[in-house]
């Protein structure tokens, strides 16, 4: 069965500091994609970063990087130099071909403290 687990319901980080949001996944598919989305209080889900299961290097997009450890089935999001605007819910998701469905974690609420 496909599953995404986010074990941190809430996180706090000081402005300008780095923060890591945890995500573990479970799938038997050899080919899958891992995504992180940001959801501000307005509700819209904003795509942040993607990592493919066959990608050799960790994905990076500006201040976002994905720490992909395939053997441990983890795909942690690292946000560097946190900004107040980073305060939001963050969802880890997986696109596995089995079941033909996007699987989401329960989310982590990040609060950036000035």
**Which CB sits closer to other proteins, 50 or 64?**
50
Q: What is the DSSP string of 3-57?
A: EEE---SEEEEETT--EEE--EEE---SSEEEEEEEE-TT---EEEEEEETT-SS
**Which CB sits closer to other proteins, 100 or 114?**
100
CB of 25 to other proteins, least distance (A): 12
Task: Evaluate whether 67 touches 78 at the Cβ level (below 8 Å).
Answer: yes
* Residue 81 DSSP code: S
CB of 99 to other proteins, least distance (A): 7
Cα–Cα nearest to 92, from 15, 31, 5? 5
CB of 53 to other proteins, least distance (A): 7
**Which CB sits closer to other proteins, 14 or 69?**
69
**Which residues contact other proteins (rule: CB under 8 A)?**
31-33, 35, 37, 42-47, 50, 52-53, 91, 93, 95-97, 99-102, 104, 106-107
């Amino acid at each position: 069965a496909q599953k995404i687990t986010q074990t941190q319901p809430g996180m706090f980080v000081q402005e300008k500091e780095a923060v890591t949001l945890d995500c573990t996944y479970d799938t038997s598919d050899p080919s899958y994609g891992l995504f992180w989305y940001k959801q501000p209080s307005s509700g819209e889900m904003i795509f942040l970063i993607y990592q493919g299961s066959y990608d050799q290097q960790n994905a990076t997009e500006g201040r976002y990087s994905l720490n992909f450890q395939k053997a441990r089935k983890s795909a942690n999001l690292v946000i560097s130099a946190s900004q107040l605007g980073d305060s939001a819910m963050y969802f880890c998701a997986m696109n596995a071909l089995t079941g033909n469905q996007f699987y989401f974690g329960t989310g982590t609420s990040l609060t950036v403290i000035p």
